[in-house]
């Protein structure tokens, strides 16, 4: 992603309650700080919180300190933790022209039918999380894996920045497992715009 033409990068995360969208938004902000962004923030959107209900979280990145912290309404990027939310949650609503759509999906980007000029990337993060048994309370977790997809699709952060953020958020053993998921997802991400 070319950040020279953008004062601020706004990212909206779409997930379901219990999938870790808020955690991912926070981790991306921290990784971006390590990448050299001077202004970083993340915030959850609160509503009827219950496991499985659609939720959003926001991340903002800037080369200067941030002055506002409202929810992201016109994102440059959306990250979708479950493919069905692409349509049911209207995940691309407000997305800027040429914006990034990064989706946890077993389908190739062209199969998603997004013909609005978006920069689409997909990865089957469910499969990767299942393979390495990345679970919380018995449920596979793809939120940290999707950080690898963000790194691959945008170049805003690197795997090293993700690893540093994960090491602050988790125990050493959990950080290693989450980092493995991010690395495998990075390698498996398919970008339609490359």
Strand segments (E) across the chain: 8-16, 39-44, 54-62, 77-80, 100-104, 119-123, 135-136, 139-140, 190-191
Select the more confidently predicted residue: 12 or 49.
12
Give the list of residues 6+ apart from residue 194 with CB closer than 8 angstroms, or none: none
Phi, psi for residue 43 in degrees, rounded to 5: -155, 140
How is domain 8-188 classified at the architecture level of CATH? 3-Layer(aba) Sandwich (3.40)
Question: Which position has the token pair 């690898």?
Answer: 148
pLDDT of residue 46: 64
Residue 96 confidence (pLDDT) above 90: yes
Domain ranges within the chain, ordered by starting residue: 8-188
pLDDT classification of 174: cutoffs 50, 70, 90 = very high
Q: How many angstroms separate the CA atoms of 111 and 74, rounded?
A: 24
The CA angle 126-132-137, to the nearest 5 degrees, is 70
Residue-wise burial string across 14-44, b where 16 or more C-beta atoms lie within 10 A, e elsewhere: bbbbbbbbbbbbbbbbbbbbbbebebbbbbb
CA atoms within 13 A on the CB side of 84: 6
Select the more confidently predicted residue: 3 or 187.
187
CA distance from start to end of the chain = 12
Q: Tens digit of pLDDT for each residue in 23-80?
A: 999 999 999 999 999 999 998 876 655 666 788 999 999 999 888 777 888 999 999 9
Taking residues 158-179, what's their average pLDDT?
97
Give me the sign of the Cα torsion angle 31, 170, 153, 119: negative
Q: Tens digit of pLDDT for each residue in 101-156?
A: 999 999 999 999 887 789 999 999 999 999 999 998 888 999 999 999 999 999 99
pLDDT classification of 186: cutoffs 50, 70, 90 = very high
pLDDT of residue 87: 87
């Amino acid at each position: 992603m070319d950040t020279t033409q953008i004062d601020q990068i706004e990212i909206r995360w779409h997930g379901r309650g219990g999938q870790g969208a808020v955690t991912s938004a926070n981790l991306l902000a921290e990784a971006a700080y390590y990448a050299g962004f001077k202004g970083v923030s993340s915030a959850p959107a609160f509503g009827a919180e219950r496991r499985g209900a659609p939720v959003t979280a926001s991340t903002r990145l800037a080369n200067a300190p941030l002055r506002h912290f409202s929810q992201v309404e016109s994102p440059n990027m959306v990250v979708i933790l479950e493919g069905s939310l692409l349509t049911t949650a209207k995940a691309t609503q407000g997305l800027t022209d040429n914006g990034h759509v990064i989706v946890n999906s077993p389908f190739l980007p062209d199969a998603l039918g997004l013909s609005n000029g978006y920069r689409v990337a997909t990865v089957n993060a469910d499969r990767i999380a299942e393979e390495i048994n990345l679970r919380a309370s018995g449920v596979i977790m793809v939120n940290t894996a999707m950080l690898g997809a963000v790194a691959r699709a945008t170049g805003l952060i690197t795997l090293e920045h993700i690893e540093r953020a994960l090491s602050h958020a988790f125990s050493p053993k959990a950080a290693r497992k989450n980092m493995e998921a991010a690395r495998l997802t990075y390698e498996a991400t398919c970008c339609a715009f490359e």
